[in-house]
């Protein structure tokens, strides 16, 4: 019992990171219909940007902003320069998957070429510990949780109450119709990539704020729980991703505490398999079994 | 030809054979049946581990000088470990296919398979008792080494012969599938599964068949590879390796067994071998990283300009009516109304 | 509801909803053998959903489908097809990377060489039957005047040619009952007339059909009997004349 409560604490932190990452990933798919498997590597790239910033002596919070901004800009450019041209060229769905994985490899190995196969850490001030209930958090972890909650709120407000949000929801629900009605304009698509890219960059930085060291493969490894979260919540459903993040974040930390730290990813994977067997569209979505849809 | 060159060429031929076999298996799953198996390398790895474990004998405990731990262990004579590897590859495909081959969008399915690949690497690395964790298995005895007393070069060429024999067998398998009505039905399922089902085709069953056969072939390729290089660790089968095979299939011509052979020659062998002759520059690992970037770019370039590959899928034509007119006149009952 | 002696397919009290929408809400009808039965109704009446249920593409929430006396409700679509119920699609669903002839060959029922074991037995085992199927396919192509397109990739055909291919492919499967979903949708009037003639010929040769069609003039020419659906239910069944006189039908079409 003594190990469970702190594990739940870790779980909340992991869930926070997963929530930001998962919502970004699932939004990207929901609005643009592209499963961007380069997502994890863009997270890593943002982490490296943050690393460069903190190595220059700048505060980690500015590094966070830099990483998020990088995520946004890179994602928009990636879509404009590569994804959309390929879609317009007539590339089918499984061709697009190869495109995204090609991009993933290029980004990941680009980072490897630039930084080398080492482990890196963000330069941060030594965080203080805070005790809440039976759980121990560092101030950095509390900040991560706060950031995640703030981001979730902002996403919710965006989707519910802004014109852009409504346009994104419409495009996610019925892309063909949205295009015909002039809703799914290039501008909306760009903004959708910018927003999900921001979340991606942000997630990359807070991910490495929470670990002792990271390397070029850290982000792509994180795809395991991200995909599990997205599938569990229903691919394309941001609220589902939030739910999924809590479930998987806490479950994987509990497994790490109770069984072994190696089992964190296995738990996410097992949940993924169960969802695929029982309800492949996830908790909230109808999308996964849809036929080919052009972006 | 000098011994050094013989070694080099025979080694390249063996790698080529292994890659051709692997590409044929992937082509069956992807080119013919339309399954996007981004965990393909896991099946090759399963075959490799199986063959290794069945050749190494039981794990020696540390106090007797053993340095690797793994499950199982036997000392089966060649070619049993290779056959067992194929079997394991097929069984693993049956298990994975059970949850992964659902009526899902192809890119969704690919994403799931990618995660399967990541988790497999994670498990193999972390569960040290399984296949010796990150260090992997080593000192796998080579087949027939002690039985035939050949010079090292002679042994190399013998191994080339083994690889060639395996190629012939695998080619027979993929050929009978792709050139038969079964192959045509698989391609129909690939093109439009709803229409295929509406014509009475058991889509799930057919996909499983292609998936399992691909798994068997992948396992065999892994077995041959491990028997040659005598070692196998998680570093040998990271998920980008699947991508190399996919690029080979796409560049060569997905759906065409000969095209895929060309792809295997061009991508894993020629492209990646070519850099072997470059002078070392930069920190270690830089050339590897650049290689991977180039493979990614190559895939993008081919997908843009030549998505059907160098030798695309052949258009099937059937003998002209003239010849069969003769047959018809011999069967008086089949006249039109 | 009594079953006439030549009832081929009976749908009893079918229900199916999507989210909150009751697409099919207690539909019952009979499809007799040897006729072209029309299935008509205003948009949203549930016709395609009913067809999908019969074809096994959708599971009904309630109700049963009987084919020649046996229930086929729970069967998946490929098993329904193997019973001889072949359906075509409203949106042409050709096998794009296969040639026209190959598209037809795929449809041939009980082919040799379609299982792994049979494929392993080699060409000598399955080639003769494949050649016989090729001949049958060629006869079909000749009948529909598409012989010249035999080796064309199905994906390269024009819209009208794809509709013809859809129909030919269905016929190649040797159906006992052909389910047609708007077979002439998006087709030029002259080609539509030709397809109509083909359907009449096939019917006189003994093929039973259930056809969803929205153009009433076509239904008048081809279909007897006619099933009218509106708002998920069957509101009338009978000859076109009976149905035309039915007040409920008139109301449905005026409103719906």
Q: Which chains touch C (3 or more CB pairs under 8 A)?
A: B
Structure confidence at residue B243 (pLDDT): 93
A82 near B CB under 8 A: yes
Let me know if residue C120 belongs to a domain: no
- Residue B91 has a pLDDT of 97
Q: How many domains does chain C have?
A: 1
Q: Which residues contact A162 (CB under 8 A, 6 or more apart)?
A: none
Q: Considering only alpha carbons, which residue of chain A is nearest residue B96?
A: A273
In percent, the amount of chain B with pLDDT more than 70 equals: 93
Contacts of A121 (CB under 8 A, 6+ apart): A51, A208, A212, A213, A214
Q: Which residue of B has its CA nearest to C83?
A: B200
Distance between CA C73 and CA C71 in Å, rounded? 6
Confidence of residue A1 (pLDDT cuts 50, 70, 90): low
Rounded distance, CA A199 to CA A196, Å? 5
* pLDDT tens column, A63-105: 999 999 999 999 999 999 999 999 999 888 878 989 999 999 9
Residue A288 has pLDDT above 50, yes or no: no
Q: Kindly state whether A103 is in contact with chain B, defined as any CB-CB distance less than 8 angstroms.
A: yes
CA distance B189 to chain C (A): 8
Q: Of A91-100, B141-150, B233-242, which gets the smallest average pLDDT?
A: B141-150
Determine the distance from the C-alpha atom of residue B328 to the mean position of all C-alpha atoms in its chain, rounded to a whole number.
44
Residue of C nearest to B312 (CA): C97
Q: Kindly report, residue by residue over C76-89, the tens digit of the pLDDT.
A: 999 999 999 999 99
- Cβ-contact A223, A39 below 8 angstroms: yes
Contact at CB, B192 and C94, closer than 8 angstroms: yes
Distance from CA of B144 to the nearest CA of A (A): 39
Chain B residues closer than 8 Å to C96 by CB: 191-192
d(CA A22, CA A26): 6
- B chain contacts of residue A113, beta-carbon cutoff 8 Å: 286, 289-290, 293
Q: According to the model, what pLDDT value does residue A150 have?
A: 95
Q: Write out chain A in H/E/C secondary structure.
A: CCCHHHHHHHHHHHHHHHHHHHHHHHHHHHHHCCCCCCHHHHHHHHHHHHHHHHHCCCCHHHHHHHHHHHHHHHHHHHHHHHHHHHHHCCCCHHHHHHHHHHHHHHHHHHHHHHHCCCCECCCCCCCCEEEECCEEEEHHHHHHHHHHHHHHHHHHHHHHHCHHHHHHHHHHHCHHHHHHCCCCCHHHHHHHHHHHHHHHHHHHHHHHHCCCCECCCHHHHCHHHHHHHHHHHCCCCHHHHHHHHHHHHHHHHHHHHHCCHHHHHHHHHHHHHHHHHHCCCCCCCCCCCCCCCCC
Q: What is the pLDDT of residues B7-46, one digit of tens each?
A: 888 999 999 999 999 999 999 999 999 898 999 999 999 9
In-domain check, residue B291: yes
- A265 to chain B, any CB pair closer than 8 A? The answer is yes
Query: Residue A242's pLDDT is what?
Result: 92
Give yes or no for residue C184 having a pLDDT over 60.
yes
Pull the structure tokens for residue C28. Answer: 């019952």
Strand C226-230 and strand C62-67: the pairing is unpaired
**DSSP code at position B315:** P
Q: Which of B122, B289, B304 sits opposite A265 (nearest CB)?
A: B122
A291: distance to nearest CA of chain B, Å? 6
Q: What is the separation of C-alpha A22 from the centre of its chain, rounded to a whole number of angstroms? A: 4
Backbone angles phi, psi at B216, to 5 degrees: -60, -50
- CATH of residue B7: 1.10.3470
Put simply, the answer to whether C98 touches B187 (Cβ < 8 Å) is yes
Domain housing B298: 3-330
Model confidence band, residue B336 (pLDDT cutoffs 50, 70, 90):
very low
- CA–CA separation, A195 vs A151, rounded Å? 11
Domain range spanning residue C29?
Answer: 7-94+157-255
Interface test with C, best of B183, B195, B324 (most C CBs within 10 A): B195
pLDDT higher for B274 or C43?
A: C43
Quick check: is C230 in a domain? yes
pLDDT per residue over A199-254, tens digit each? Answer: 999 999 999 999 889 999 999 989 999 999 998 988 878 888 999 999 999 999 99
What does the mean pLDDT of chain C come to?
A: 89
Domain ranges of chain A: 4-278
Which of the four pLDDT bands, split at 50, 70 and 90, describes residue B329? very low
- Give C151's contacts in chain B (Cβ within 8 Å): 315, 317
**Per-residue model confidence (pLDDT) at position A24:** 94
Residue B59 lies in a domain: yes
What's the pTM?
0.89
* Cβ–Cβ contact A157 with B under 8 A: no
Contacts of A272 in chain B (CB under 8 A): 112, 115
Across A39-48, A115-124, A251-260, B138-147, which has the greatest mean pLDDT? A39-48
pLDDT beyond 50 at B333:
no
Per-residue pLDDT averaged across B103-122, rounded? 85
Mean pLDDT, rounded, for C54-72: 92
Q: Which of C116, C123, C131 is the closest to B324 by Cβ? A: C131
CB–CB of C90/C181 below 8 Å?
A: yes
A288 vs B105, B283, B304: nearest CB = B105
Length reported for chain B: 337
Distance CA C18, CA B71 (A): 50
Using the beta-carbon criterion (under 8 Å), do C93 and B195 form an inter-chain contact? yes
The residue among B145, B166, B172 whose CA lies nearest residue B85 is B166
pLDDT tier, B322 (very low <50, low <70, confident <90, very high otherwise): low
Q: Is residue B337 part of a domain?
A: no
Instruction: Please give the C-alpha separations between residue A164 and each of A31, A151, C101, C156, in angstroms, as whole numbers.
Output: 11, 16, 49, 39
- Give the domain CATH number at C226: 3.40.50.300
Give yes or no for a contact between B267 and B301, defined as CB atoms under 8 angstroms apart.
Answer: no
Give the model confidence (pLDDT) of A51-74 as tens digits: 999 988 888 889 999 999 999 999
Q: Residue B327: pLDDT above 50?
A: no
Alpha-carbon gap: C192 to the closest alpha carbon of chain B (Å): 22
**pLDDT at residue B335 greater than cutoff 60:** no
Encode pLDDT of C99-120 as tens digits: 999 999 999 988 888 999 999 9
Give the gap in angstroms from C-alpha B45 to the nearest C-alpha of chain A.
Answer: 19
When comparing pLDDT for C210 and C20, which is higher? C210
In percent, the amount of chain A with pLDDT more than 70 equals: 95
C-alpha span between B54 and B143 (Å, rounded): 11
User: A185-209 burial, b for 16+ CB within 10 Å, e for fewer?
Assistant: eeebbebbbbbbbbbbbbbbbbbbb
Question: B187–C96: do the CB atoms touch at under 8 Å?
Answer: no
Contacts of B108 in chain A (CB under 8 A): 35, 235, 288
Tokens of A27: 């939004």
Pairing of strands C70-71, C62-67: antiparallel
Closest by CA to C52, choosing from C31, C23, C30, is C23
Cα separation of C53 and C64, whole Å?
10
Class of domain A4-278: mainly alpha
Chain B contact set for C112 (CB, 8 A) = 181
Q: In this predicted structure, what is the pLDDT of residue C243? A: 82
Summarize the confidence of residues C161-188 as an average pLDDT: 91
Instruction: Give the separation between CA C52 and CA C57, rounded to whole angstroms.
Output: 5
Judge: B105–A289 Cβ closer than 8 Å, yes or no: yes
Residue A286: its pLDDT value, please?
A: 54
Q: Supply the pLDDT for residue A206.
A: 94
CB contact under 8 Å between A231 and B103, yes or no, is: no
Nearest to A46 by CA among A257, A203, A213: A203
Which residue stretches of C21-158 are H helix?
47-54, 77-82, 100-107, 116-120, 123-143
Q: What percent of chain C has pLDDT over 90?
A: 63
Least confidently predicted of B43-57, B154-168, B314-328, C149-163? B314-328
Min Cα distance C114 → chain B (Å) is 4
- Comparing CB atoms, the residue among B119, B127, B283 nearest residue A224 is B119
Q: Which of A94, A103, A291 sits opposite B107 (nearest CB)?
A: A94
Residues of chain A with C-beta less than 8 angstroms from the C-beta of B299: 98-99, 102
pLDDT: which is higher, C16 or A126: C16
Chains touching chain A through at least 3 C-beta pairs below 8 angstroms are B
Over residues B152-164, the mean pLDDT reads 90
**pLDDT tier for residue B103 given thresholds of 50, 70 and 90:** low
Tally of domains within chain B: 1
**Per-residue pLDDT at C216:** 85
Q: What distance in Å separates residue B246's CA from the closest CA in chain C?
A: 20
């Amino acid at each position: 019992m003594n190990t469970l409560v702190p594990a739940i604490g870790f779980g909340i932190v992991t869930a926070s990171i997963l929530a930001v990452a998962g919502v970004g990933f699932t939004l990207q798919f929901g609005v643009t219909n592209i499963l961007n498997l380069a997502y994890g590597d863009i997270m890593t790239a943002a982490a490296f940007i943050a690393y460069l910033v903190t190595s220059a002596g700048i505060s980690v919070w500015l590094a966070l902003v830099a990483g998020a901004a990088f995520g946004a800009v890179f994602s928009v450019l990636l879509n404009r320069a590569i994804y959309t041209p390929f879609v317009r060229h007539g590339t089918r769905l499984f061709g697009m998957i190869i495109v995204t994985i090609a991009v993933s490899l290029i980004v990941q190995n680009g980072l490897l070429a630039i930084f080398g196969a080492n482990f890196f850490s963000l330069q941060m001030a030594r965080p203080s510990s805070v005790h809440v209930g039976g759980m121990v958090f560092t101030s950095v972890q509390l900040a991560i949780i706060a950031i995640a909650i703030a981001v979730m709120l902002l996403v919710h407000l965006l989707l519910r109450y802004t014109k852009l949000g409504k346009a994104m929801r419409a495009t996610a629900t019925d892309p063909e119709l949205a295009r015909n009605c002039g809703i799914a304009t290039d501008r909306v698509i760009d903004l959708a990539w910018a927003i999900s890219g921001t979340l991606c960059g942000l997630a990359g930085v807070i991910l490495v704020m929470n670990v002792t060291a990271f390397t070029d493969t850290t982000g792509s490894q994180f795809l395991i729980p991200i995909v599990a979260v997205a599938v569990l919540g229903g691919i394309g459903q941001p609220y589902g991703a939030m739910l999924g993040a809590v479930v998987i974040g806490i479950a994987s930390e509990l497994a790490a505490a109770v069984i072994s730290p190696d089992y964190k990813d296995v738990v996410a994977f097992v949940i993924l398999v169960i969802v695929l067997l029982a309800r492949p569209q996830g908790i909230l979505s109808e999308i996964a079994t849809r036929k080919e849809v052009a972006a | 030809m000098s011994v050094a060159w013989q070694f080099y060429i025979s080694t390249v031929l063996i790698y080529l054979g292994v890659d051709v076999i692997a590409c044929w298996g992937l082509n069956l799953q992807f080119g013919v049946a339309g399954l996007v198996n981004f965990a393909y390398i896991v099946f090759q790895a399963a075959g490799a581990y199986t063959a290794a474990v069945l050749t190494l004998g039981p794990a020696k405990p540390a106090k007797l000088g053993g340095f690797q731990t793994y499950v199982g262990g036997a000392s089966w004579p060649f070619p049993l470990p290779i056959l067992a590897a194929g079997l394991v590859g097929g069984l693993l495909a049956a298990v994975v296919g059970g949850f992964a081959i659902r009526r899902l969008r192809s890119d969704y399915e690919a994403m799931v398979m990618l995660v399967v690949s990541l988790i497999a690497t994670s498990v193999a690395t972390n569960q040290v008792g399984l296949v010796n964790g990150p260090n992997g298995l080593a000192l796998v005895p080579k087949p027939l080494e002690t039985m035939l007393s050949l010079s090292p070069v002679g042994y190399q060429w013998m191994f080339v012969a083994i690889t060639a024999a395996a190629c012939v067998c695998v080619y027979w398998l993929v050929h009978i599938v792709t050139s038969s009505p079964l192959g045509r039905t698989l391609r129909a399922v690939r093109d439009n599964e709803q229409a295929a089902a509406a014509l009475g085709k058991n889509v799930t069953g057919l996909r499983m068949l292609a998936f399992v056969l691909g798994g068997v072939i992948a396992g065999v390729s892994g077995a041959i590879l491990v028997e040659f290089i005598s070692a196998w660790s998680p570093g040998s089968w990271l998920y980008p390796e699947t991508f190399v095979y996919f690029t080979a299939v796409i560049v060569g011509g997905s759906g065409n067994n000969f095209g895929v052979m060309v792809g295997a020659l061009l991508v894993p062998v020629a492209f990646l071998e070519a850099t072997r002759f470059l002078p070392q520059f930069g920190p270690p690992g830089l050339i590897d990283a650049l290689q991977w970037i180039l493979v990614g770019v190559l895939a993008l370039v081919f997908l843009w300009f030549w998505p059907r590959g160098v030798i695309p899928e052949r258009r099937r034509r059937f003998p002209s009516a003239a010849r069969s007119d003769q047959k018809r006149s011999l069967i008086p009952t089949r006249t039109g109304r | 509801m009594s079953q006439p002696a030549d009832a081929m397919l009976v749908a009893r009290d079918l229900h199916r909803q999507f989210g909150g929408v009751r697409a099919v809400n207690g539909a019952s009808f009979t499809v007799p053998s040897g006729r072209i039965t029309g299935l008509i109704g205003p948009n949203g009446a549930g016709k395609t959903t009913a067809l999908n249920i019969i074809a096994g593409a959708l599971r009904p929430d309630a109700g049963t489908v009987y084919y020649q006396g046996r229930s086929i409700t729970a069967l998946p679509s490929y098993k329904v097809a193997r019973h001889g119920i072949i359906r075509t699609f409203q949106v042409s669903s050709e096998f794009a990377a296969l040639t026209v002839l190959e598209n037809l060959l795929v449809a041939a029922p009980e082919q040799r060489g379609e299982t792994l074991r049979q494929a392993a037995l080699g060409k000598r085992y399955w080639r003769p039957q494949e050649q016989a199927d090729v001949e049958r396919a060629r006869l079909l192509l000749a009948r529909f005047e598409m012989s010249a397109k035999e080796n064309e990739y199905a994906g390269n055909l024009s819209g009208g040619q794809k509709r013809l291919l859809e129909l030919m492919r269905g016929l190649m499967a040797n159906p006992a009952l052909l389910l047609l979903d708007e077979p002439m949708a998006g087709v030029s009037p002259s080609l539509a007339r030709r397809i109509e003639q083909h359907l009449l010929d096939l019917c006189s040769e003994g093929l039973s059909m259930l056809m969803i069609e929205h153009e009433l003039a076509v239904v008048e020419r081809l279909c007897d009997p006619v099933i009218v659906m509106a708002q998920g239910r069957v509101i009338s069944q009978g000859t076109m004349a009976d149905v035309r006189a039915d007040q409920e039908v008139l109301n449905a079409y005026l409103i719906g």
